[in-house]
Amino acid sequence: MGSRFLTENRWLLKLCAEVARFCGLLALLGTGVLVAVTVAVQIMFGSEGSGAAAKSYIHLWAITPTIVFYGFLALILAEFISYLLADQGEPKWILRHGDKIIYAYVLYFIVMSVIGMAPQITGVKSPSGTGLHGVLPVALCVTSSVVKTLIWVGIAIVLRKIVPIIRESKTLV
């Protein structure tokens, strides 16, 4: 039944793979250009920039790993779909090591979550002067972080298990 689905929807799956590949490359290259421009502006103007520019610079460095991760995730999805549609061949590097990319992001996410929750847990105000204090905000942050972590770890485990199964099924046919 799965192979019938693949043959009937081959054009749509190819389109989805190409769109995912385009979005992944756009995220990676766009982030690279954005970081390069930001670093160039920072070097050109030095510390003469305003406080708003400094905050945007900090926010850029905080969000960049997440954008890069989602770019890699889109490329992994594109390669997964392409590998499903291919008659033979080995999975490409990004698909073989996709679980490790996800694990690396999960580790980064955990560290950043702990750093972000530290002011709330200790009761010290964050450098931006914001932050909620109390049991409920901390519980919500911890719950959200744990759920996201478990979801990404689950996706990585599924990816690690399913790629060898698909590879084996291609050799049997």
Q: Let me know the angle formed at the C-alpha of 44 by 39 and 42, rounded to the nearest 5 degrees.
A: 35
Question: Which of 22-36, 42-56, 101-115, 133-147 bottoms out in mean pLDDT, i.e. has the lowest?
Answer: 42-56
Domain that holds residue 21: 1-93
78 and 112 fall within a common domain: no
62 and 104 fall within a common domain: no
Please list the alpha-helical segments (H only) found in the chain. 2-8, 10-45, 51-85, 93-96, 98-122, 135-172
70 and 105 fall within a common domain: no
pTM for the model stands at: 0.80
85 and 107 fall within a common domain: no
Question: pLDDT digits over 69-117, tens only?
Answer: 999 999 999 999 999 888 878 889 999 999 999 999 999 999 988 887 7
What is the share, in percent, of the chain residues with pLDDT greater than 70?
A: 83
Compute the chain's Rg from CA coordinates: 21
Instruction: Characterise 82 by phi-psi region: left (phi > 0), alpha (psi -120 to 50), beta (else).
Output: alpha
